[in-house]
Amino acid sequence: MPLVYGRSIGRSLPKLGSLSCPKRPCYNLNFAPAILNASRSFTFTALRSYADAKLDLPALDLKWRQKWASIPKDTAQDASKHKGKYILPMFPYPSGYLHLGHLRVYTIADVVARFHSLQGHHVMLPMGWDAFGLPAENAAIERGINPATWTKSNINKMKEQLDLMNGSWDWSRELATCDPTFYKHTQKIFLLLHEKGLAYQTEAEVNYDPVDKTVLANEQVDANGCSWRSGAKVEKRKLKQWFLRITEFAEPLLKDLEVLAKNEAWPERVLTMQKNWLGKSTGAIIRFPFEHFPEGGIEVFTSRPDTVCGVQYLALASTHPLVAKLTETDPELQAFLDTLPGLPPDSKVGYMLPHIRVLNPLEHEGKKPDTIPVYIAPYVLGDYGEGAVMGVPGHDVRDHSFWKLHGKDQPVRIVLAASEDESTTAMVNEPFTDHGVMNEHSGPYKGMSSKEAGENIVSLLEKKRFAKPVDKWRLRDWLISRQRYWGTPIPIIHCNSCGAVPVPDDQLPVQLPEVDAHWAGKKTGNPLETLDEWVNTECPKCQGPAKRDTDTMDTFVDSSWYYARFIDPHNPEKPFDAEKAKTKLPVDIYIGGIEHAILHLLYARFIYKFLMSSSLVEETEGIHEPFKRLITQGMVHGKTYTNPATGLFLKPDEVDLTDPLKPKVVATGELATVSYEKMSKSKYNGVDPTGVIAQHGADATRAHMLFQAPVSEILDWDGDKMVGVTRWLGRLWDLVHKLERPVSSQSPKEYFEDTSKKLGSMTPEELARWDADAAVWREVQKTIVSTKTSYEKVYALNTVVSDLMGLSNVILGNYDENNKGGFIVREAVGALFRMMAPITPAFSEECWSVLEPGQGSIFSQSGKVLFPEVDESLELLEPRKQACAVQVNGKLKVVVEVPKPPEGMKGDELREWVVGEVMKSEEGKKKLRESVEKAKKVIVIKEGKLVNFVV
């Protein structure tokens, strides 16, 4: 038993094995096979002892996890006979503990997988570990232990926790990216990219942390230019780095978003984020000639050539080649550049180059060309366009802000407006950024639409060799080099004679060497750089002395292809088999957080497109996307208490929860402020999911988590409300142990077909039973449709729980103690548990085994027990009665149940018939006798559904 059950000491498993049960199977942990295979024709008598047995959900979890573990899985040969579904949640980083966000995404994944298995699909639901990365290395340094030891320990803990969720993970496919059997193939994929010229090494300016001695991504540098971890001032260094040429795939990455948009397969906001990151801009490169050297000049990319007439300055990035040249003779410029690393990214400071001015290439006839100042500005990015922008204060927000500071004595030039008469133009102190109509400041283009003017301007400047039309992308090649130990080693050997040489296939994987002394000494930096015995090797080409590459790969490389390894996780020779790739990929449903909407998904799309066209698969035709459908779940927020007097977050022991509805500050007695915030240690609002499961059981926790919010929205976790779900399960537990198992060879539809023929001769008691049965089975049919639709949509899983609760209420409302519910109620309960099974698997299995002791597990993969289907019985189940609203002088008096009027009845005959039926009811007799006697007029409408007595 996992250690987490230590939390529930004092909770004992139900001693059901000791109960006297001559005719029902016993429910201890050891099933008696002979009893389990009892024939369906047996008739069982309900024993009160079962209904009295307390529902212990954690005990059922344990029992059924053991039971599921004993069920044989489909072999590969058997699996090929089934329709396949590949369901995949984003794999976790093994930090050592699960939080409620993990619980939510993995619950969703398991529910979807179990639903599809009940639809007859052979479902693949693997699990693995995103195990490389900086956090593990930093933890190793802090603890003085090998990161592999720390990581593997965390994997074991989290695997135990995952099993507590009642998940149906296929652990036979488990992988960890830090395992050499996995990263061997990451290295193979790198070498395939290298062979095609898509992996290359070049010098690049990077963010370097001098304390942690590592390269940082832009996102790891704060607004003050400091490292997110060490707090050290980040340095800009030129280092030789490895890149993957993702820009070669820019067009298909953009174009194929249209495929992912169809039928809302991917969320619209994710598609928008991907599109913006790719950042395709159609425009032109325009050369602004130097004032005294017209053959030279500064090239600028712009997507708005219609605003060239409004250019009032040029701005260069600090890395522009011209800047580097000028710093050699301009110490003031160098001093300015030295201040830039400490400035925020949106800073509007600038340095005007003192002896450089350029001309606007768009000369107007009879007018001297404008001379334009040139600035160095930190808001200009060196890796976009040409590292230069044309400043148009009248039509760009950033340019406007910059010019307000630097061009105070120069009026802002407006060259186009929203309309020809400028009546709808923004105020002069705000830039007009939309397309519109050119005005008189645009010379010969006045009155022309700005889009048409832009085309004409580019055409004119192209003839004069001042412009050329181009497309530009925000996307940059993917920098994968990391100067850290805990990552996939780059499989390249550097030889002075042969250059960069790939490690031969038979020498893969290049494994990380043991460096225990480094961790024991709690040293920072990359130990690979100083490990001469590992670094020094021989060149595979010339057998001369050479050195291994000491960089490791960005962990995004591992996660860009792990989903493909799951389909063939034990293949020693290849990342995966080509035939398996063609039959099992892409992933049908991919589930994870919105925080991975850009980089992880973009890199996965790039690598998948490459792999499908590589020698591994050679699937050159068609559109290749790794994830057919993407589900993004919302975050989980925790209940947070703050002191209203100080605004400080309160620790658990600082809050008096004697009355949960009125939490008080212990120190002052004041009511605490309650809110829901992102869970964090500093807010004292974290919740241990294993503790919740140990107390309430996995099934109640799963159902509660799904019920509280739609999948895509933020979930405000409130464990106090769990009682609603546990009460629901408890009522069903009591019911299933009361039900008899009547003998019947008929299906419900056949039962209704036969019984409907006898309606005319039934007694009132028999008609009442028919009405109750029809009401129950109608609700079953409707719920089958609604739950199946919601399971398929995924985002509406909360409505599955509410619909099942609604069906439960109808069943319980029509349960008859005298005949133990009858055949239809029993069949309805069976359908209910099969619909519940994906959400509450252990509870549903237990109840199903009571209800159908010879049917085996709901999830046996035998196809014997499946999700219920509608049986086309609804047309037989039209209610015999209808609600009749009775008004007196237009005011509602009472609503009574009356039979439906005979077909074709109208006028006076209908009126008399309806009044007679109303007055047969007890409520009618009590509340309407006087009104009926005094009525001057009786109005019956809607075929007897509304009666108005005018008194």
Mean pLDDT in residue range 384-401: 89
pLDDT tens-digit readout, 519-533: 888 888 899 999 999
* pLDDT tier, 819 (very low <50, low <70, confident <90, very high otherwise): low
* pLDDT tier, 891 (very low <50, low <70, confident <90, very high otherwise): confident
In this predicted structure, the answer to whether residue 38 has a pLDDT above a threshold of 60 is: no
Which H/E stretch holds residue 54? none
pLDDT of residue 237: 82
What is the reported pTM? 0.83
pLDDT of residue 31: 30
* pLDDT tier, 190 (very low <50, low <70, confident <90, very high otherwise): very high
In this predicted structure, the answer to whether residue 254 has a pLDDT above a threshold of 70 is: yes
pLDDT of residue 260: 96
pLDDT tens-digit readout, 175-185: 999 999 999 99
d(CA 412, CA 392): 9
pLDDT of residue 893: 81
pLDDT tens-digit readout, 422-467: 654 545 578 898 998 998 888 889 889 999 999 999 999 999 899 9
By percentage, how much of the chain surpasses pLDDT 90? 50
pLDDT of residue 854: 78
Q: What's the burial of 340, exposed, middle or buried (CB within 10 Å: 0-12/13-18/19+)?
A: middle
| Under 8 Å between Cβ of 522 and 144 | yes
Q: Which of 80-89, 395-404, 564-573, 905-914 has the highest mean pLDDT?
A: 564-573
pLDDT tens-digit readout, 635-689: 999 889 999 888 888 888 899 988 888 999 988 989 998 988 888 777 888 888 8
pLDDT of residue 678: 85
* pLDDT tier, 44 (very low <50, low <70, confident <90, very high otherwise): very low
* pLDDT tier, 74 (very low <50, low <70, confident <90, very high otherwise): low
Mean pLDDT in residue range 704-721: 92
Q: Report the 3 state secondary structure along 656-689.
A: ECCCCCCCEECCCCCECEEEEEECCHHHCCCCCH
pLDDT tens-digit readout, 332-379: 999 998 888 777 767 889 999 988 999 999 875 456 677 899 999 988
* pLDDT tier, 880 (very low <50, low <70, confident <90, very high otherwise): confident
Position 461: which residue type? L
pLDDT of residue 921: 83
3-state helix, strand, coil in the chain (%, to 5): 40, 20, 40
- Mean of per-residue pLDDT scores for the chain: 85
Which H/E stretch holds residue 243? strand 235-244
Mean pLDDT in residue range 191-209: 91
User: β-strands 416-417, 371-376: how paired?
Assistant: unpaired
Higher pLDDT, 192 or 925: 192
